[in-house]
Structure 1
Amino acid sequence: MNPDEKFRAYESKMRAIGMQDAAIRAFQRNYEALLRNESGMIPENDIEPVTTLPTLDHITTSADHDPPPLARAVVIKLNGGLGTSMGLQGPKSLLEVRDGVNFLDLMVRQVLDLRRQSSTQVRLLLMNSFSTSDATLAHLQRYRDHHLADSTDVELMQNQIPKIGADTLDPVVWPTDPALEWCPPGHGDLYPALAGSGWLDQLLDEGVRYAFVSNSDNLGATLDPAILAHFAASGAPFLMEVTRRTAADRKGGHLARRLADDRLLLREVAQCPDADFDAFQDIERHRFFNTNNLWLRLDHLRHALEAGDGVLPLPMIRNRKTVDPRDKHSTAVIQLETAMGAAIECFDGAAAIEVPRSRFAPVKTTADLLALRSDAYQVLADGQVRLDPSRHGTPPIITLPDSCKLVDA
């Protein structure tokens, strides 16, 4: 059976629930790579380390922009996660930080402060999933006067894709709970979601050119006007914020340069051959990891998508799981995903900048949350979260027993 025939069942399944063409084409590209048995591996011999980069402390910016970059910017937050690893049943962004203020409130405060700075309507887009949309929009009703409540103003919906039967490579069928036949496509879905939803065209039509994208649980990821000005002046189509790897980051994806074309790329642990794992974990060799704080030129993104028939050629990542993640004896499946940071290799002239560790402060565990709620951090009126000066730049290290790993424990 040729790839087109093999894919037909997937296309029918996706169209039946109203999936957009951009999402279907992106999934088809990854599925056909799977049929070709492409591993997505990036051997050490194909890359070289990145040793030096511009740093945030040493960039120069120009005020000679008309209109100023802030007036042409959108903040996009990935908001599809439920935080199940912390025992949450709802959106992680609704987790309280201090005194009834949650992650989402801080994001809104940051955008409102940017609006005050620029006297323009800096936009906020939340990339929600089907699991987070309702609760997120309900919470945002308190910001209706700021045009941050309606889905038509703030919501970019994440797509979902079919799980693949590991033995047959056909769409998995699970009558017990059909919802388990679907999975998220990874945050690389940002690009087909922007294109397929119409948001990309709408933003460009409104004069928006620059997008700052980050994870909603990274409270250090704020739109920094200095980085925006640097990005605008550089003319680069894509900018990745990276920071120095530590021993704790050895298994996290790192930045490298491909020898074949001299482009920057992102290598995740799932893309590293076993034989190269020691080199992957060598934090002196591969010094920088992706904070997932990205800057995009939306006009360049649209051009790249048009050139690729609506698809960015992101490396495919395959994950082997079971259709019911709570039942290890259920049908074995393959879930395909892409990483949004991997788009750095899709653009000529894409760049990276080294930023302080303070711009990477994700809340992944209850220990992270406890630290955030402590007096080691300051939560400012403009939504910024800062280490207290008494910490001298050193975050607290908190270790909790297993009995405290869930929020309600």
Structure 2
Amino acid sequence: MTGLGDTKTQSLLDFTHVTDMSMEKQSSQKLDKLIMHVDPNARMTESELSGFLKLYGRYMKERSSKTEIDWNLIKQPDTSILRPYSELPEVGEDAVGVLSKLAVLKLNGGLGTSMGCTGPKSVIEVRGDTTFLDLTVQQIETLNNKYPKANVPLLLMNSFSTDEDTAKIIEKYTDTNVSISTFQQSRYPRILKDTFEPCANPDTAYNSGDWYPPGHGDVFAALMNSGLIDTLIAQGKEYVFVSNVDNLGATVDANILSLLIQEKVDYCMELTDKTRADIKGGTLISYDGKVKLLEVAQVPSKYLDEFKSVKKFKVFNTNNIWVNLKSLKNRFESLELDIIPNPKTVGGKKVLQLETAIGAAMSFFENPIGVNVPRSRFLPVKTTSDLLLVQSNLYTMKSGSLVTNPARQFASVPVIKLGPEFKKVGSYLERFGSTPDVLELDHLTVSGDVAFGSSVSLKGTVIIVANPGSKIMIPKGAVLENKVITGNLHILDH
């Protein structure tokens, strides 16, 4: 780490003293000197500090000697690497034996602020008064009731923003047949983009804007540092299934787990077929003889169009990941995941968040595979457009899982694009008298001041655009099929 030759980095190098010889020695000193803040909860742990210094040191080294990916070494994965879901063997009578080796982990670090909600995103109501977390608990309780000897536990990885609230929320699950454990991912200081100094320092009071959770790739370190990985192994658990808490399609699949156990697979990534809405999603490749996740940020600019082509790169990462616990523990020290510098503006300051992604770990494990799963296993709710879809009659509920309504005659999922007027959940709810019938919908675009009465049916392609200063009110019971509505329209219900 010495001799980087960049004067801009000198202040942070002085700050951290990051060298191979001094890192371990400096950790305890920095813990006292660097992060002694007014709020005692703001202090980094020894493991957090060590992880941050290692990540920062790698970033400063790699930014001065970044190697561009060699496009000619990329090959498409064959069926030995990317397994078709339809060809997986049924688990059969051994389901309880298979499931007894599993733990489920949900990434629960996100807040609902982007959708106008406060607190953890996992408590947003997505089906009636049922939340993301309610559905997750229902799914696992159904498994444990059906297979009493399986005892599948639920782990929630919280961020420092969601940990306290989540601890209170899960009290309502005390009487369920699900063992729930929580642990907190790391808290790292943001870095000033111009000087490369951490925002957090001992001369200022604690400010949450100075800190960030370093991406879902941190799940490996958080599992190790919490000691939960040893607890799970001692309980006879062999695999952990990791997914985003807002992906309603990420349910336990015993057939996938059975395959991993039979073939001693250390790491498995679920991928699904791309649509035009997924062209930037990371994809699975064979690179220089190794299985690897290729992210859009790694693609040279001249190959971006080729990367986004649905014809060449046909699948993308759902972030549903299966990992062998013993293999993770044995390989943890060698996991140097690709660093993602995420630029932000916080409090008027331009900063960088050094993050990692769980998918990048794939190339560090022996015998990694991908499974090309149906689209039904990828139902994320990132926006109110997604929320409309999962609340609609396109899906029915079964034991906490969303199941595609058999009355839907098309395999594809409707594309829904709601304008900024619908961005916040409160505004979204005010603009729909009830969730429209979308069983025969292909595409919906809504822009401007638009509201829907109850019992509206949408079919084919529907585009509704209210001009600035105008309002469109779709009346109760309206049936819109292949319609374009613009301008100003307000029809009173009778």
TM-score (norm 1): 0.89
How many matched pairs? Answer: 394
Give CA-to-partner distance per residue, 1:112-163, whole Å, 9 cap, x none.
Answer: 01112221321000111122223323222221123758xxx42021211111
* 1:98-247 equivalences in 2 (<5 Å): 98-120=127-149, 121-146=151-176, 153-173=180-200, 175=204, 178-247=207-276
- 2:341 equivalent among 318, 322, 340: 318
Separation in 1 of the partners of 2:176 and 2:67?
A: 44
Q: Is contact 2:282–2:317 with CA below 8 Å preserved after alignment?
A: yes
Aligned to 2:359: 341
Aligned to 2:414: 396
SS in structure 2 of the partner of residue 390 of structure 1:
coil
Asked if 1:370 corresponds to 2:388, the answer is yes
More strand by share: 2
Greater Cα offset, 85-94 or 210-219: 85-94
SS in structure 1 of the partner of residue 320 of structure 2:
strand
Shift of 1:275: 2.6
SS in structure 2 of the partner of residue 319 of structure 1:
strand
Aligned to 2:100: 71
The amino acid that maps onto 1:122 is V
Give CA-to-partner distance per residue, 1:39-85, whole Å, 9 cap, x none.
Answer: 47534234223254211111125568697121121010011111322
* 1:52-63 equivalences in 2 (<5 Å): 52=79, 53-61=82-90
The verdict on how the C-alpha distance between 1:114 and 1:11 changes in structure 2, with shifts beyond 3 A counting, is farther
Aligned to 2:330: 303
SS in structure 2 of the partner of residue 252 of structure 1:
coil
Give CA-to-partner distance per residue, 1:18-43, whole Å, 9 cap, x none.
Answer: 53444434333321222112547534
Separation in 2 of the partners of 1:342 and 1:15?
A: 33
Q: Is contact 1:44–1:279 with CA below 8 Å preserved after alignment?
A: no
The amino acid that maps onto 2:54 is R
Matched residues, percent identical? 38
Aligned to 1:5: 17
Give CA-to-partner distance per residue, 1:346-395, whole Å, 9 cap, x none.
Answer: 11211111100110010111111112212121122x10101211113332
Q: Which has the higher contact order (CA 8 A, sep 6+)?
A: 1
Aligned to 2:490: none
Asked if 1:85 corresponds to 2:102, the answer is no
Shift of 1:177: 6.5
Greater Cα offset, 165-174 or 70-79: 165-174
The amino acid that maps onto 2:342 is N
Separation in 1 of the partners of 2:45 and 2:252?
A: 30
Aligned to 2:402: 385
Aligned to 1:407: 425
Cα RMSD of the aligned pairs, angstroms, is: 2.5
More helix by share: 1
Q: Is contact 2:342–2:354 with CA below 8 Å preserved after alignment?
A: yes
Q: Is contact 1:94–1:102 with CA below 8 Å preserved after alignment?
A: yes
Q: Is contact 2:96–2:147 with CA below 8 Å preserved after alignment?
A: no
Aligned to 1:32: 57
Q: Which is higher, the Rg of structure 1 or of structure 2?
A: 2
- Return 5+ residue gaps in structure 2 as ranges: 3-12, 428-494
